[in-house]
Homo-oligomer: A and B are copies of this chain.
Amino acid sequence: MKKNDKIRVAIYGASGYAGYELYRILKHHPGAEIKYLTAESSAGKKLSDIFPTADGLPIIRNEEVKLGDVDAAFLSLPHGAAKGVVEEITRSSRKIRIIDLSADYRFDDAAEYEKWYGRKHTSPDFLDEFVYGLTEINRGAIRKARFVANPGCYPTATILGVYPLLKSRLIDLSEPIIIDAKSGVTGAGRKPEVRLLFAEVNENVSPYNIGYVHRHTGEIEQELNKVAGSKLKIIFSPHLVPITRGMLNTIYVKLNRDKSTEELTEIFSRTYKEELFVKTLTDDAIATFQHTMNTNLSVISVKKVENSPYAIVVSSIDNLGKGAAGQAVQNFNVMFGIDETAGLL
């Protein structure tokens, strides 16, 4: 691919952890060229002023992006902030593709967004334009999409961990699917809040928004309901752990048929056998944070509980990799018809 054949990208919101991870991946992507980095609060600085290992690329304001120079836009903006950029891109004559990492366009229904996010949706008309970008499940639609809503980190780990069992009709839906999730602290963003200080997070594990409260619960529910074809019961309990990045969801499901660990593992292996970014563990290995650290991988183990109809799925992703920037680039690759692993190995 010649230099001038490269897909020109703009990263909106490059001063956050996910925005920076997009930069890190795209910098070495053989088919992409970073044209613009934006960050409203850091405009005028260089990226290296914010992240010591970055290059000195200039950071500009959203409105300074020249859309004529851009083929694809990654939006890693605060909730509600994507609207302006999406509108501008829609109005422009060019066919720029968007991968939005916020929650703004993940819901099919504005009412669901409003219920979980506690505020009016600012641009419900766009909801129909966006495809939910869980690559392994929606690849066909993503391939044809102009706009993709990149999934949340918890939903990615959960959906990939439950999908094979749900699709195989193996889950007893009369009991809830219980997701006990552990996340590294970059999942909470790069915000100057006391609760995110080193001295508050270190030597601590903090559950938060447990039960049926966290915003990602609605997203998980929407997508799993589609797979199940009926309304599931979800209990979702996230925990903050003293780790920079990574995520592990321990998922408890009641089975409606007796299956051994080996049979369950085989179902996962078969479901994901063509997938380059999903790995099913065998031989009693259990997924950990380290299985996916600094990668775009999803690593999953499944285990039947002895003398019990329950199974435990452990699903690991890097919250900044497959849980954000990695999957965004994977979707980008699919949208532009290039090698799905480009930039991600």
Which A residues contact B (CB, under 8 angstroms)? 17, 28, 52-53, 175-176, 178, 180, 182, 184-186, 190-194, 196-208, 210-213, 233, 235, 237, 239, 241-246, 248, 250, 252, 254, 285-295, 297, 299, 303-308, 310, 312, 314, 345
Contacts and interface: CB of A to CB of B under 8 A. Distances in A.
21 contacts: A52-B288, A53-B290, A53-B292, A178-B252, A180-B250, A182-B239, A186-B199, A196-B198, A197-B197, A197-B198, A203-B290, A205-B241, A205-B243, A205-B288, A207-B314, A208-B286, A210-B303, A210-B312, A211-B304, A235-B308, A237-B250
Contacts of A299: 52
A103 B297 CA distance: 36
B52 A307 contact: no
Contacts of A202: 185, 198, 202, 242-244
A235 B233 CA distance: 19
Given A212-B307, A246-B203, A312 B237 contact: yes
Contacts of A28: 345
Contact of A250 (B213, B239, B293): B239
Contacts of A176: 305, 308, 310
Binding site secondary structure of chain A: loop
Contacts of A286: 206-208, 210
Contact of A213 (B198, B290, B306): B306
Number of identical monomers bound together in the oligomeric complex: 4
A287 B204 CA distance: 11
Given A303-B210, A305-B211, A308-B235, A290 B204 contact: yes
B205 A306 contact: no
A305 B53 contact: no
Contacts of A241: 182, 205, 241-242
A175 B178 CA distance: 13
A28 B341 CA distance: 13
Nearest to A209: B286
A78 B256 CA distance: 42
Contacts of A182: 182, 205, 239, 241
